[in-house]
Amino acid sequence: MANFTVLFVLLSLWTNCCLFFSCFCVFSLDFCLEGLMAVTLYWNKLCPFVQRSWITLIEKNVAFELVYVPLSGGTPDWYKEINPRATVPTLKHGDNIIFESNLIAQYVDDTFDPKQSLFPGSAYDRHRVRFFLEQIGEFVGAAYGLLFDLKSEGKNAELEANLKNLEKLLAEQSPNGPFFLGETFSLADIALVPFLDRHRHLLFAFADGYNIFANAPRLKVLLDAAVLRPSVFQTNQSAACYIEAFKGHLSNAPEPTKRPLKLYTNGNCPFCERVKIALALKNIVVDEVEIDLANPPAWYSTEINPRGTVPALALGDGRIVHESNLIVAYFDEEYAVDDKPALVPTDGFARYQQNLFLEAAGGGVVGAGYGFLFSKGSDEKRAALQEAARPVEDLLVQQSTGPFFFGAEVSLADIALIPHLVRLSAALPEFGNGYSFFEEFPRLCGIVKAAREHSVIGKVLKEPEAYLAVVRARIAKSA
């Protein structure tokens, strides 16, 4: 009897285990099949509603296909069969067809990798997200309302009220952010970011320089953090793209307001001179703001550059580009001209050669040059300068016959070095203790000579006496 009882218990356990395992397998199979079904997003890169779905798919690491749907010239018949309303986006997942951007985002979040939810937190947090989504809809309507009725004071006031409301909700939910749920990027942010990014450009361009962040710093914190995420960076388009596309929707569209570029600079700084050379070569006009480095204004470190250094470039939408070489590279890419050589080569190996040169020059010869001048020509510092300059000279010889790094055309490699070399050239007679540096390194000398004779760069550079006066003052101050 005892053996029979034990056998019965074992059989029961085995049956239950089999049932559990079967259920688990069915659940696992269903989950796997969900992931294996093809995902297609019917898409147009200019549509902010599409961008919501696009961002969500990337955030959830979903493999998907993009199918382009034109937004002008009539909706194709084949697309109307998929979506009778002829709107984008539409998501196709296996046999499932899903409409509406927020519903698509929710579906993707529920279906793919639910453990990494974009709709996390407590029940109350999720309620706050849902409420925030409704308020975003009000903001979107108010923003488009003003864009389509630019002279309306009522539409302006309505937009202001909606921005104030969003700002208040963000500050209440997470004062420091950066996102609606603090450090967590969620569906709340995904719903807002495409419109926030577009409307900062469109409203400024068409609504007489309207600044949506003027009284909404918390919204700016959210967008600044969001654009750094790969999902947003990959799906964003340029301001010019948004403006040009939207212009076609406006009757009697005004000429878009162009934001001036603003360069925070100092007239004695060689790093700022790099940027000024690039500006002259690219024929770019900026507003310059002189920063007194001995007594910089408090707002500069709080609003522009926390490190307090120059140069810094403020773009028209309020973003800041730091570091002289990076600013030059930004100008070269943003203001590329087909019939003019690039300052940063597009060829991968040529770019490597330039980066190698920049590392050798910036990491050694620049610092060693100033060290030699400040030592007033000591033997020890002269040896250090010679040691630092030799690999730079060798790279120049190996690369081309000159006069610049890549030959006849100026590049970032030359721009990075020219401001420092002209200062060294100006100060050596007084502080070099008779050392003929440029005779020992003729290719470096050739860059200085070619820069002085260059039709554009020569106009940017100051006379040697001006550079000498600055170096002299700095050496006296350090004594």
What average pLDDT does range 79-91 have in this prediction? Answer: 96
What integer pLDDT is reported at residue 296 of this predicted model?
A: 92
pTM of the model: 0.58
Residue 450 clears pLDDT 60, i.e. is over it: yes
What average pLDDT does range 297-314 have in this prediction? Answer: 90
List the single range of 254-268, 431-445, 449-463 with lowest mean pLDDT. Answer: 254-268
Q: Is the dihedral of CA 169, 173, 179, 184 positive or negative?
A: negative
- Could you read off the pLDDT of 47-59 as tens digits, one per residue? 999 999 999 999 9
What integer pLDDT is reported at residue 12 of this predicted model?
A: 55
Q: Predicted confidence band at 247 (pLDDT cuts at 50, 70, 90)? A: confident
Residue 313 clears pLDDT 60, i.e. is over it: yes
pLDDT higher at 15 or 401? 401
What average pLDDT does range 460-476 have in this prediction? Answer: 96
Q: Is the dihedral of CA 410, 412, 415, 420 positive or negative?
A: negative
pLDDT higher at 440 or 318? 440
Q: Is the dihedral of CA 28, 31, 34, 36 positive or negative?
A: negative
pLDDT higher at 372 or 338? 372
Q: Predicted confidence band at 404 (pLDDT cuts at 50, 70, 90)? A: very high
- Could you read off the pLDDT of 89-98 as tens digits, one per residue? 999 999 999 9
What average pLDDT does range 235-257 have in this prediction? Answer: 82
The Cβ-side half-sphere exposure at 207, using a 13 Å CA radius, reads 25
Residue whose pair of structure tokens reads 């719903």 in the numeric block: 191
- Could you read off the pLDDT of 104-163 as tens digits, one per residue? 999 999 999 988 999 988 899 999 999 999 999 999 999 999 999 998 999 999 999 999
What are the residues whose beta carbons fall under 8 Å from the beta carbon of 237, sequence distance 6 or more? Answer: 45, 46
Residue 73 clears pLDDT 90, i.e. is over it: no
Q: How far is CA 434 from CA 372, 373, 424, 429, 474, in A?
A: 12, 12, 13, 7, 20
Q: Predicted confidence band at 228 (pLDDT cuts at 50, 70, 90)? A: confident
What are the residues whose beta carbons fall under 8 Å from the beta carbon of 229, sequence distance 6 or more? Answer: 59, 185
The chain-wide mean pLDDT, for the chain, equals: 90
What average pLDDT does range 349-364 have in this prediction? Answer: 91
What average pLDDT does range 439-453 have in this prediction? Answer: 98
What are the residues whose beta carbons fall under 8 Å from the beta carbon of 91, sequence distance 6 or more? Answer: 39, 40, 41, 42, 53, 97, 98, 104, 107, 108
